Amino acid sequence: MNIHSHTYVPIENTQYVVFIEEATDVYSALRALATKIRPCILATVLVVLSALTMSACGDDSDSGAAFTVVEPAEDVLPPATPPTESRANSLEKVAIEGQVECTRYAALASDTPKAIWDYKLGPTAAYFHDNGVTLNHVLTGPENGEYCHRDCRSDAVDWSGKAGQTLYLTDGTPGMDRTRFVWSRHEGHGGAEFNHLYLLSPINQATDGDGDSWYTASPDPAFTREDWLTTGNLTTPTAIARGTVLWSNHALVGFRNGLLGAVGTGNSGDSFPFLMLDGRVPMGIAITPNNELAFVATWNTATCRGELAVIALQSRDGYPYMLPNHGFFTRLTLLGYVALPIAAPTAVAATLDVAQWNWIQAPDLTNPDERQSWMNREPDHRVAQAGYVLVTSRDEHQAVWIDITPTMQWIEAMYLGTDDNFQTTQQPGWPLTFAQAPEAMPVVVHTEAVNQPTVVVAGYDVGDRAYLGADGLFSRHSYIATIDGSLLAFDSSALMRGAGEAPKLSDTYSLCNNPTHVTYGNGMPRRDEMLFTCRGDRALVVIGPDGTIQRTLADDRISDPIAAMNPGTRSANVITVADYANARLLNYQDGPLQPWGDDVFSNQPDAGSFVYLGLLQIDGSVVSISAAEVP
């Protein structure tokens, strides 16, 4: 359609003359108007121009792309009351001057999940800021975080979203919900020419008229499992983790009684496998990038020592144990424990020299040609050969690196080595334990003094898509954040090569006070960005592998942030923040929403800016969150 000369539009007793010189379509005209006319007026112009389109082109809904005007919701959420308790006593629960006292250690390990989480999360902003923190008030987005373009509720051919677990404190009842963090529906993979619906505010119960919320539940369906419930009173898990590269639909959760089990999202065919880590309390969990293994940092109250439980993972759809898979866990096997030179581990991360970002079909290694492809290490047919686990103890001021190259090389040798080895993997009793295969045992290679470490990152290859660091900077380093605001970068490239050499401190960066959580990898706008939750400053900080801060979210609606993640969906980058003090989740849009690169919606934040989208009130103080894409 061409609109020649000019169009005269009277609006609310005000005469606007809109000149559109040789505009090729209504969308181009609206884009020209969008920066010049208030949204309420632009909406009227949209109606007029749409009528012009219909008269010139006939009733053809697909004749041209549209531009959707987005009205901000009423800003009704006031600034949050800042925390008044410093929680300084959380730093004295277990150790005095770096030395663990076993009586205190055992008492905390047997205490409530609230006591354990309060210990792990440490001091609030009141501990670091006597006069409080000056924060912004982020602009408000659309009502309930909903963006609707064209006939957005018509039948979609593509839908996507993130769901998972919200952990929260209770008075002895189940403390984990299955939450939908974001959702979107699309007529096609493209921009303005297709219908798009974005639901960017979190929910944890099925909603009338929302057919994509059926799988949400409060509490999580895991608490209906009789086999789980027979192990003891299950309330709030003490640890949770998902893989950070491949799909990783299921999370692993650990409970105070030693139960370690798998929980899912929606359409995930949950089978809820679990095992017991008897006599041990899970304090942190890490899963390798491709879901091969899990590492659980535990407290052994009988020996007053820390141990690293090593768990073999198997996924549905024919994926062999301990080979790359999409994280729909059906079986868990305890391989054994690695004795740690610390008693009270509080954080753990794991990485491998292969980070498989492409979808991998389950390999049929009984097929000689398929097995040969893996032996030749062809693209998307590679078994990791090296890697490491990083464990820290905040109150013992220690960081420990464990070389898992022996484990990975053993796995490769069993599947791709001699025929006798391969036949072992096909028999009942596989996988073997470390007692049966001691050559597979990981090895502690280095311990380093670090003042009050809180959260850790183990870098890996970020593939060929969006990244910040050049020359594999992220993959060469492990990172340790400290309670006093430093981020330490250690060159760990030798461990990634399987050389077994100690990492070396390469840089120290300024971060924030008391980082309590970090998200990286899958879901982040750039795969080597790290999103730190800074409880001590009531802020979220995104930092690159070179220590450069990319953006900071500091909104006065957030009282006491203890965890955050980026559950994006189809061009929508969203940050979900868990607020301990106010017992709620808050969603924020991170940069503009541009479906498949198109400027479809008005009132979009600039890159590096944020928009508040909505919140979900939880039945107790939130202590952690985790999500994956719903299949």
What three-state secondary structure class fits 44? helix
Cα 52 from Cα 62, distance rounded (Å): 15
- Decide the pairing of beta strands 584-590 and 610-617: antiparallel
Number of domains observed in the structure of the chain: 2
Least Cα distance to 295 among 351, 358, 250, 231 occurs for: 351
* pLDDT tens string 67-89: 899 999 999 999 999 999 999 98
Are 345 and 217 contained in the same domain? yes
Beta strands in 483-548, from DSSP E residues, in sequence order = 486-491, 504-510, 515-520, 530-534, 539-543
Same domain, residue pair 488 and 593: yes
d(CA 459, CA 476) in angstroms, rounded, equals 7
**pLDDT value for 327:** 94
Residue 62 resides in a domain: no
247 pLDDT tier (thresholds 50, 70, 90): confident
For 460-497, what is each residue's pLDDT tens digit? 998 876 677 767 899 999 999 999 999 999 999 999 99
* Residue 72 within a domain: no
**What does the pLDDT average to over 419-433?**
97
pLDDT mean over 387-395: 98
562 and 493 belong to one structural domain: yes
Sequence letter at residue 130: D
Distances (CA, A) of 388 to 111, 244, 339, 396: 31, 15, 15, 21
Sign of the four-CA dihedral 627, 628, 629, 631: negative
In a domain, 31, yes or no: yes
Q: What is the CA radius of gyration of the chain?
A: 26
> pLDDT tier at 595 (50, 70, 90 boundaries)?
very high
Does one domain contain both 339 and 380? Answer: yes
Q: For residue range 350-369, what is the model confidence (pLDDT) as tens digits? A: 999 999 888 888 999 999 99
Q: Which residue has 């993130």 as its token pair?
A: 162
Are residues 157 and 36 part of one domain? Answer: no
**Angle at alpha carbon of residue 301, lines to 296 and 305, rounded to 5°:** 65
Domain that includes residue 560, residue range = 88-629
Cβ-based burial of 121 (10 A; exposed 0-12, middle 13-18, buried ≥19): buried
How far is the C-alpha of 531 from the C-alpha of 457, rounded, in Å? 11
Q: Quick check: helix, strand or coil at residue 147?
A: strand
DSSP assignment letter at 278:
T
Please give the helix or strand (H or E) that residue 39 lies within, else none. Answer: helix 39-57
625 lies in the same domain as 566:
yes
Distance in angstroms between the alpha carbons of the first and the last residue of the chain: 40
Report pLDDT digits (tens) over 18-35: 333 333 444 444 444 443
Question: Does 355 share its domain with 487?
Answer: yes
Q: Are 608 and 588 in contact (CB under 8 A)?
A: no
**CA dist., res. 115 & res. 255, Å (int):** 13
pLDDT digits (tens, 9 = 90+) for 97-118: 889 999 999 999 999 999 999 9
CATH number for the domain that contains residue 101: 2.130.10.10
- Whether the bond between 289 and the residue before it is cis, its omega within 30 degrees of 0, is no
pLDDT at 76: 93
Per cent of the chain over pLDDT 90 is 80
Number of Cβ within a 10 Å radius of residue 450: 22
Residue 6: pLDDT band (50, 70, 90) is: very low
Cis peptide bond upstream of 545, omega within 30 = no
Beta-bridged to residue 601, according to DSSP, are 68
Tell me, letter by letter, the H, E, C secondary structure of 369-412: HHHHHHHCCCCCCCCCCCEEEEEEECCCCEEEEEECHHHHHHHH
At position 515, the amino acid (one-letter code) is: P
| Measured distance CA(547)–CA(550) in Å, rounded | 9
Asked if 534 and 519 count as a contact pair (C-beta separation under 8 A), the reply is: no
Residue 71, domain member (yes or no): no
Please give the pLDDT value at position 53.
37
Q: Which residues contact 485 (CB under 8 A, 6 or more apart)?
A: 510, 511, 512, 513, 536
pLDDT higher for 631 or 218?
Answer: 218
Q: What's the pLDDT score for residue 296? A: 98
Picking from 568, 591, 566, the residue whose alpha carbon sits closest to that of residue 577 is 566
The answer to whether the beta carbons of residues 481 and 547 sit under 8 Å apart is: no
Q: How many CB atoms lie under 10 A from the CB of residue 230? A: 7
The dihedrals phi and psi of 108, each to the nearest 5 degrees, come to -70, -45
∠ CA 431-432-437, nearest 5°, is 140
pLDDT in the model for residue 470:
64
Q: Are residues 16 and 104 in the same domain?
A: no
Asked if 564 contacts 578 with a C-beta cutoff of 8 angstroms, the reply is yes
Residue 210's pLDDT is what? 85
Pair (35, 144) in one structural domain:
no
Average pLDDT over residues 402-410: 98
Q: Is residue 66 part of a domain?
A: no
What's the CA angle centered on 539, arms 537 and 544, to 5 degrees?
Answer: 110
Tens-digit pLDDT profile for residues 297-328: 999 999 999 999 999 999 999 999 999 999 99
Is 114 in the same domain as 212? Answer: yes
Same domain, yes or no: 341 and 416? yes
Q: Poorest-confidence range of 50-54, 398-402, 407-411, 492-496?
A: 50-54
Residue 489 resides in a domain: yes
Residue 343, in any domain of the structure: yes
Query: Which residue, of 57, 76, 99, is where some domain finishes?
Result: 57
pLDDT at 22: 36
Distant-in-sequence contacts of 212-217, Cβ < 8 A, 24+ apart: 212/159, 212/161, 212/180, 212/183, 212/185, 213/180, 213/183, 214/266, 215/163, 215/178, 215/180, 215/265, 215/266, 215/267, 215/630, 216/163, 216/177, 216/178, 216/179, 216/180, 216/266, 217/177, 217/178
Q: How does residue 65 score in pLDDT terms, banded at 50, 70 and 90?
A: low
Q: Report the candidate in 150, 157, 151 with the shortest Cα–Cα distance to residue 186.
A: 157
Q: Is the pLDDT of residue 268 over 90?
A: no
Within this chain, do residues 575 and 429 fall inside the same structural domain, yes or no?
yes
DSSP code per residue over 101-133: -HHHHHHHHTS-HHHHHHHHH---HHHH-TT--
∠ CA 62-64-69, rounded to 5°: 105
> Which two three-digit tokens encode residue 60?
């053809």
Low-confidence winner among 19-28, 387-396, 507-516, 579-588 (lowest mean pLDDT): 19-28
Phi–psi pair at 343, nearest 5 degrees: -100, -35
Q: What is the pLDDT of residue 614?
A: 97
What is the overall mean pLDDT for the chain?
Answer: 89
Q: What is the pLDDT of residues 513-549, one digit of tens each?
A: 999 999 999 889 999 999 999 999 999 999 999 999 9
Report yes or no on 69 lying in a domain: no
pTM of the entire predicted model: 0.90
